[in-house]
Amino acid sequence: MLFGRPSGSAGSAPAGRRNLTARLDPSERVFRAIARAGGAVVLVLMGLVGTFLAYRAWEALRKAGLSFITTQDWNPNGGGFGIAAIIVGTILIGLIAVAVAVPLALGTALYISEYAPRQFQRGLITLIDLMAAVPSVVYGLWGAFLLQWHVVSVSRWINNWFGWIPIFKVDDVTRHAVQPTATFYTSSSFIAGLVVGLMITPIASSIMREAFSQAPVGEREGALALGATRWGMIRSVVLPFGRGAMIGGTMLGLGRALGETIAVVMIISPVFHIQPYILEHGTSSVSSLIALQYLEATPFAVSALMAAGLALFALTLLVNFIAAHFVTRSRSGALSEI
């Protein structure tokens, strides 16, 4: 017996339980107190933001009641206001962004971890990190001044040939009309979603790449030794290993896309009815609504904006927790935590 033998009382029965907690030095206690205080300050600050938003939003929510969810219009100073239209617009832009970002992020992550020559890998990783750090106003400028005018022709083409699918419909434009003007197709959710999709691609991509590069070497070599091609190896080892990170990275990107403000403001033109047609001019999102309306807002209108913001926050929070769940529960996530 090595441990737990009470010293000094050999032979006799141990008197009472031995005290196992360490007595800390004063310096240790000060350190712990400072660390705890730091944690508490951060907790209080963050908690303050959440509770204050909820408190101020409550005012508007109480007045609007259930109509807050069903109303499409936004007139807090008289008449009804509600998030039905703007939350639908937000989610649509987020979904388009994810639909754009997932293939791009997956391709980039696979390229960096599996195909790129070794000596370029670090440089490529830095480039992707840089892409994540490019300010959103720059993406917005690019989207509004360059991409928009090139995408219009694609929008028109999709509308012409697939206009019979409801979401690709554009009002007031008949099929193969004699070159409808470009303004029918600008400022749409599709273009905003494209730009936001490019913004979230590096975020999703770096999470996926990290998981892919951790796929066990033994399993990779096993697959190759059994005669798999490189793609066969990726499909049977790398992708199943990184499945959790793929879902998690996508959700994290979705969370970012839902909250994106400036790039969306610079592209869309706001409308306040539910806009399910993604190619059509005009849509709206929660954060762009806040950015456009806070200045002329009365105190009650600010509270209404906060209610909208709170709904958005709830949405992004849900998405982020789902993402965290998938990232940590997956095999890849479990390995990355030491």
Q: Hey, which residues between 220 and 249 contact other proteins (CB under 8 A)? A: 229-232, 234
Cα–Cα distance, 84 to 7 (Å, whole number):
72
The least CB distance from residue 254 to other proteins, in Å, is: 11
- Which residue in the set 58, 95, 160, 219 belongs to the binding site for other proteins (CB under 8 A)? 160
Q: Give 47 or 216: the residue with its C-beta nearer to other proteins.
A: 47
Q: Give 6 or 39: the residue with its C-beta nearer to other proteins.
A: 39
Which parts of 161-180 interact with other proteins (CB under 8 A)?
Answer: 176
- Which residue in the set 5, 6, 52, 69 belongs to the binding site for other proteins (CB under 8 A)? 52
Closest CA relative to residue 215, chosen from 113, 116, 305, 302: 113
Q: Does the protein bind other proteins through residue 93 (CB under 8 A)?
A: no
In degrees and rounded to multiples of 5, residue 260 shows phi and psi of: -65, 135
The least CB distance from residue 15 to other proteins, in Å, is: 29
- Which residue in the set 97, 304, 319, 327 belongs to the binding site for other proteins (CB under 8 A)? 319
Q: Could you give the angle at the alpha carbon of 99 between the alpha carbons of 233 and 209, nearest 5°?
A: 40
Cα–Cα distance, 36 to 82 (Å, whole number):
42
Task: Assess contact for 312 and 90: CB atoms under 8 A.
Answer: yes
Number of residues that bind other proteins (CB under 8 A): 100
- Which residue in the set 135, 162, 165, 298 belongs to the binding site for other proteins (CB under 8 A)? 135
Q: Give 64 or 315: the residue with its C-beta nearer to other proteins.
A: 315
Cα–Cα distance, 178 to 64 (Å, whole number):
46
Q: For residue 220, give every residue at least 6 positions away whose Cβ sits within 8 Å of its Cβ, in sequence order, or none.
A: 233, 237, 238
Q: Does the protein bind other proteins through residue 140 (CB under 8 A)?
A: yes
Which parts of 8-37 interact with other proteins (CB under 8 A)?
Answer: 24-25, 27-28, 30-32, 34-36
Cα–Cα distance, 295 to 297 (Å, whole number):
5
The DSSP 8-state label assigned to residue 18 in this structure reads P
Match 């209108």 to its residue by tokens.
301
Which parts of 178-197 interact with other proteins (CB under 8 A)?
Answer: none
